[in-house]
Structure 1
Amino acid sequence: MPAHAVAVDVGGTTIKAGRVDATGQLTRARRVPTPRDIPALVEAIGTLVRELAEPGDAVGVVVPGIVDEATGTAVLSVNLGWRDVPLRTLLVEDLGRDVTFGHDVRAGALAESVWGVGGDLLFVPVGTGIAAALVLDGRVRGTGWAGEIGMLTVSDPDGGGPVVLESVASAAGIARRYAARAGVAVDGADAVVEAADGGDLDAIAVLGDGMDALGPALADAVALLGPVPIVVGGGLAGGGESVFGPLREAITRRLGERPASGVIAARLGPWAGCLGAGAFAMGLSTSWAEEGVEP
C-alpha cells in the first residue's frame, strides 16, 4: 500500500488538491478554478498531479455527479455540463500512470469513516445539492446512481406541486426560500441559520420546512439499515441546533417506535472529498465497483 497519495477533488467551482498520508494529514493543499472544458480540465488536473507527486505516490481523483467507478466514467454532471466523459482514461493518457477514480461524496464518506467521525456511517453533505454515501464494515457501498437523494420528490411547503428535495432542504435551497419569504437578499444558508438563532420566525420556518423534508428520507434509510450514525456535512454542517434539532425531530416522527440514529456534524470540513480521494488511492477502502460486486 502506498504511504502517500496525490488527491484531487473536482468541485463545481473549485478543484482542491493536496498530498495525503496514511494518517489523513493533508499537505501542500492547492485550489484552482474548475474548467468546464474537458481538455482544459484534464490539463489542470495533470498540472496539479505533476506539481505535487513524489516517487511512489498513488493518485486519486474524485468528481461530482453520477460516476461509474468501474469504467472510470463521469456519466452525468448537470452543474458542470458533463455526460459520459471517460475521464480516468483521459487522465491516464495525460499522466502516463494509473489513477484511482471515484465519486466525491463517497470519497468524503470514506474520509469521515477513516479519519473523521469514525466507523460505520451515512454521510450526507448538504450544500448546493444533497447526496448521501454509506460506509459499512469499512467499505463504501454503492456506485452509479446510489445516494442521489436530493432528486427525491417531496411536497412543496409553499403549496405547489411536487418538488425535488434539494430545492427545499439544501443549503442553496434554504437560502433561496428565505430570501423569497423574507424579501431580503442573503449570502448563503449560514445567514439563515444566524437569523434563526436570533429568533427570526421566517428563518426558523424555512429551516423547519427543509428539515421536515430531509428527515423522512434519512429515516427511511435508517429503517432499512438500522441506526447507523448520520453525519451531516456541507454548508449546513455548522448549523448547530437550528438545523440538527428540527432534523432529529423529523427523523424521530417518521420512525415511530424504531430506534433513531444519532445525527452529528462532519469533522473534516470542505476537504473531506480530497482526503477521501487519497484514501481510495492508498487502498484504505474498497468500493463495490472495485470488488466486482454489482451495486
Structure 2
Amino acid sequence: MAAPALGVDIGGTAIKIGRVAADGTLSDARQVPTPRDPEVLADLIVAEAAATPAEAIGVVSPGIVDEQQGVVVFSANLGWRDLPLRQLLSARLAAPVVTGHDVRAGALAESRWGAGEPDLLFLPLGTGLASALITGGRIRGTGWAGEIGQILVPDPDGTGRVPLERICAAGALARRYAAATGTTDTSGGARAVFARAAAGDRSAQQVLDSAIETLADLLAATAGLLGPVPLVLGGGLAEAGDALLDPLRAALAARLPVDAMPPLRRARLGQWAGCLGAAALAMTPGGSP
C-alpha cells in the first residue's frame, strides 16, 4: 500500500494542501493565498511541505499543462507561460515531486475515491469549464486535452460563436442573466439563477435552458465517440443537484439512442478533488497513472 502523500492544488486565488492516505482519507487540510510570483510560490510550497512531511508530493495547477515535461505551458489565471514548475520545485524539495493538471488530477481522485468508476469523463463546471477522461483507472491526454470550455459554439443570442464556457460554466450563468435583464448585479452567482428559475423567472429559465441545450449537444457528440462512459459533474454548478442533472439527462436522452446514453452523476469530492488527485499522482509509480 502506498505511503501517504502531500497533495497541493494551486488555484487562481488559493492553494489547497493536505496529506492523503492510500484510501483517500484527507488530513491536515488547509488553504493559503496563491502568490503570483513562481519563486515565491515555490518557497511557500517548500514551507508547507516541511510542516507536513510526506514521502512524496504532488502539485497540480490550472491551464495548459504538459505533464511529461512538468511545464505549465500557459495559465491565464496565474499569468504563467512556459513555467518549468516541476524543475522549480524539485530544486527545493527533498522528497520526490510530481506535477500535473488540476482537472485531470481531480478526475483521477474521483475515479479512485469519489464516483468510484474506472472509466469516466469528469466535468467540473465552475468559473471556467474543462474536462478530463479516465479509462481503465488511468488519465488520458495531456496539454490541450479536455479544454472543452474553449470550443467555439453558437451563441444562443445569435451573435456568432463564443467559447462554450461563456454559456455553460457556472460563472457565465449570472453574467448572462444580468445581461438578459439589464442589470449588473452578479453577486448571487449561478445559485441565484437556479433559484429565480425555480420561482418562475422566465429570463432565468431561458438562460439555464440554453446552457443545458448547448452542453447536451457537446456531451452527446462525446458519447458518440467514447460510448456511454459515465459523466461525472463537479464544480459550483453541480451543487444545483437534480435541478441541473434532470434536465441535462432529458436533453441527452433526446439526442442519443438508449444504449448510448451515459450515466450522469454528481461528483463526490467537491473542492478538494484537485488536492486529492495531486496526492494520487504522487502515490503512482512514475507519477503517470
- TM-score, normalised relative to structure 1: 0.92
1:119-159 Cα offsets, whole Å, 9 max, x none, are 12110000011111111111111111100000011111111
Residue aligning to 1:165: 164
Q: Is the 8 A contact 2:56 2:95 kept in 1?
A: no
Residue aligning to 1:81: 79
Deviation at 1:254, TM superposition (A): 3.0
Deviation at 1:246, TM superposition (A): 2.6
- The separation in 1 between residues aligned to 2:244 and 2:154, in whole angstroms, is 20
Secondary structure, counterpart of 1:255 in structure 2: coil
Deviation at 1:265, TM superposition (A): 0.7
Secondary structure, counterpart of 1:36 in structure 2: coil
1:58-99 Cα offsets, whole Å, 9 max, x none, are 110011011111110001111211110000000010113320
Q: Does 1:91 align with 2:89?
A: yes
Deviation at 1:35, TM superposition (A): 1.1
- The separation in 1 between residues aligned to 2:29 and 2:277, in whole angstroms, is 14
Letter in 2 for 1:181: A
Letter in 2 for 1:12: G
| Aligned 1:279-290 pairs, distance under 5 A | 279-283=280-284, 290=288
Deviation at 1:258, TM superposition (A): 5.2
State the superposition RMSD in angstroms.
1.6
Secondary structure, counterpart of 1:199 in structure 2: coil
Secondary structure, counterpart of 1:95 in structure 2: coil
- The separation in 2 between residues aligned to 1:241 and 1:4, in whole angstroms, is 35
Residue aligning to 1:207: 208
Deviation at 1:45, TM superposition (A): 1.5
Residue aligning to 2:45: 45
- TM-score, normalised relative to structure 2: 0.94
Residue aligning to 2:175: 176
Letter in 2 for 1:37: D
Residue aligning to 2:220: 219
Letter in 2 for 1:96: A
Secondary structure, counterpart of 1:122 in structure 2: strand
Q: Does 1:238 align with 2:236?
A: no
Secondary structure, counterpart of 1:15 in structure 2: strand
Q: Is the 8 A contact 1:212 1:246 kept in 2?
A: no
- The separation in 1 between residues aligned to 2:124 and 2:62, in whole angstroms, is 12
Residue aligning to 1:122: 121
1:229-258 Cα offsets, whole Å, 9 max, x none, are 100000111112321223223323332565
1:245/1:182 Cα in 2 relative to 1: closer, same or farther (>3 Å)? farther
Q: Does 1:154 align with 2:187?
A: no
Q: Is the 8 A contact 1:204 1:242 kept in 2?
A: no
Residue aligning to 2:261: 260
- The separation in 2 between residues aligned to 1:183 and 1:51, in whole angstroms, is 50
Query: What is the count of residue pairs matched by the alignment?
Result: 286
Q: Does 1:113 align with 2:111?
A: yes
- In the TM superposition, structure 1's runs of 4+ consecutive aligned residues that sit over 6 Å from their partners are none
Letter in 1 for 2:123: V
Q: Is the 8 A contact 1:6 1:20 kept in 2?
A: yes
Identity %: 53
Q: Is the 8 A contact 1:196 1:242 kept in 2?
A: no
Gaps of 5+ in 2: none
- The separation in 1 between residues aligned to 2:251 and 2:151, in whole angstroms, is 17
Q: Does 1:247 align with 2:281?
A: no
Q: Is the 8 A contact 1:107 1:277 kept in 2?
A: yes
Residue aligning to 2:271: 270
- The separation in 2 between residues aligned to 1:251 and 1:78, in whole angstroms, is 32
Gaps of 5+ in 1: none
